[in-house]
Amino acid sequence: MKRLVVALKSNPTPWTDLLARSLPGHEIVPSFEALDGRPADYVLTGKPGPGVLDAIPGLKVVFSVNAGIEALLAEGVVPPHLPIVRMVDPGLRDGMLEWVLAQVLAWHRNLFLYREQDQRRDWRQLTERLAFERTVLVLGAGELGGPIARALAGLGFATRVWSRSGADIPGVTSFAGRARLVEAATGADAVVNLLPLTPDTTDLVGRAVFDAMNPGGLLVNGGRGATVVDADLIAALDAGRLSMAALDVFRTEPLPADHPFWAHPRVHVYPHVAALTHPRTAVPVVVENLLGFEAGKPLRHVVDRARGY
Ligand code: NDP
Ligand code: OXD
């Protein structure tokens, strides 16, 4: 009987119950401890410690519970011969789409400013702009960034995407490669980060990007915290280059209590909730991939370790 270990920091029961129903003929083990030294074929996990996977005999595939897999690529975590399959889940995609659109629309329609006015009983109509008068740049055109760019274009925003290899999305202007990042940001009113964290994307969004944007802009970060240079972001907000930042991800999580983002009036802090992996949408994806693998098909969504995502 094949064995799948589910090792999560949250309660594994919703996962193990669904997996057990979907994978008859497989033993579902609810933690590394419960495996108790026995061999296993697969693990579904987020951040195992170094050496933990090395100690499991027979492992064939590591399924990540997260879309972002930088923790699995850390030294000594996943033995080099094992494929890592990242999470590509319609629930994650839809959750991120909703969260990003909520931020962009709230900023575009001045909802946060009207909320402040309402608390002061201040009846004043602010200048409104039409969607086509705003340019939004999405960094990353993958499983999450692609649908978001499509949706923003569908709402009428002048939409751009920036990625490594370029994207072909109807109605969206595409830029590719590091050399074109500042060009892509030039004249943007909002920048939405949905890049994975790799050596190439660390500290990527900083002063050069903010200076290229139109004044009074928006930064939305749903990707990873270390892609944005915190000090440059605060300087851009203080100088009015940006009028709002909606941040779901941070260099250190939970965000330390003394971090200046907490107190900044133009920073909206979210506790890494933009898109959550729900077992009811994620389990069918894992099961289809795993059964396909057992039937001899190539695994889908395998991480390219050289690229880092
Ligand atoms: P994908 O791998 O599908 O897409 C990644 C995109 O980033 C691709 O378009 C890729 O370009 C681009 N990219 C990667 N490296 C570079 C680079 N050096 N220069 C330019 N473009 C680059 O990832 P997903 O869309 O599924 O997820 C993106 C990230 O979102 C995850 O890695 C994770 O960090 C984050 N995330 C956050 C969540 C949250 O709740 N806050 C939830 C889920 C994910 P190309 O198309 O050329 O390959
Ligand atoms: C993910 C995340 O990468 O939750 O899935 O950030």
The token pair that represents 80 in the structure block: 């080099």
Q: What is the pLDDT of residues 3-61, one digit of tens each?
A: 999 999 999 999 999 999 999 999 999 999 999 999 999 999 999 999 999 999 999 99
Same domain for 205 and 155: yes
- Let me know whether 101 and 83 are in one domain: no
Q: In this structure, are 119 and 209 located in the same domain? A: yes
Verify whether ligand 2 is closer than 6 Å to residue 221 (CB atom). Answer: no
Q: Looking at the CA of 224, which ligand is closest?
A: 1
Active site residue 272: yes
The pLDDT of residue 100: 99
> Amino acid identity of 269?
V
Q: 69: Cβ below 6 Å to ligand 2?
A: no
The domain spanning residue 171 has which CATH number?
Answer: 3.40.50.720
Give domain status of residue 213, yes or no.
yes
In one letter, which amino acid is 293? Answer: F
Q: In what order do the strands lie in the sheet with 190-193?
A: 172-176, 158-163, 135-139, 190-193, 217-221, 242-247, 267-269
Report the C-alpha gap between 243 and 10 in whole angstroms. Answer: 36
Query: What is the tens place of the pLDDT at every residue in 74-129?
Result: 999 999 999 999 999 999 999 999 999 999 999 999 999 999 999 999 999 999 99
Q: Which of 100, 182, 195 to mutate to test the pocket of ligand 1 (most atoms within 8 A of CB)?
A: 195
| 97/243 same-domain check | yes
Q: Is 225 in the pocket of ligand 1 (CB under 6 A)?
A: no
Alpha-carbon gap, residue 268 to 56, rounded angstroms: 42
Residue 34 and residue 121 in one domain: no
**138, 192 Cβ separation under 8 angstroms:** yes
The Cα angle at residue 205 between residues 203 and 207, in degrees rounded to 5: 100
| Set 264, 272, 278, 305: catalytic member | 272
Ligand 2, atom 5, residue with closest C-alpha: 66
- Taking only the tens place, the pLDDT of each residue in 2-16 is 999 999 999 999 999
| Residues near 119 by beta carbon (within 8 Å), at least 6 away in sequence | none
Instruction: Note whether 98 and 36 are same-domain residues.
Output: no
- The whole-angstrom separation of Cα 76 and Cα 53 is 9
Please compute the mean of the pLDDT values over residues 220-229 and round it to a whole number: 98
pLDDT at 242: 98
Specify the number of domains making up the chain.
Answer: 2
**Residue 68 Cβ < 6 Å to ligand 2:** yes
Distance, in Å, from the CA atom of 19 to the CA atom of 285, rounded to the nearest integer, reads 11
96 and 205 together in one domain = yes
120 belongs to the catalytic site: no
Q: Please check whether residue 134 lies inside any domain of the structure.
A: yes
User: Could you write out the three-class secondary structure of 116-162?
Assistant: HHHHCCCCCCCCCCCHHHCEEEEECCCCCHHHHHHHHHHCCCEEEEE
Residue 70 placed within a domain: yes
Residue 87's SS3 state is: coil
Ligand 1 binding pocket includes 236 (Cβ within 6 Å): no
**The pLDDT of residue 173:** 98
- Which residues form the domain of 80? 2-89+277-294
Q: Could you say which of 3, 93, 160, 224 is catalytic?
A: 224
Residue 299 has a pLDDT of 98
- Indicate if 162 and 289 belong to the same structural domain: no
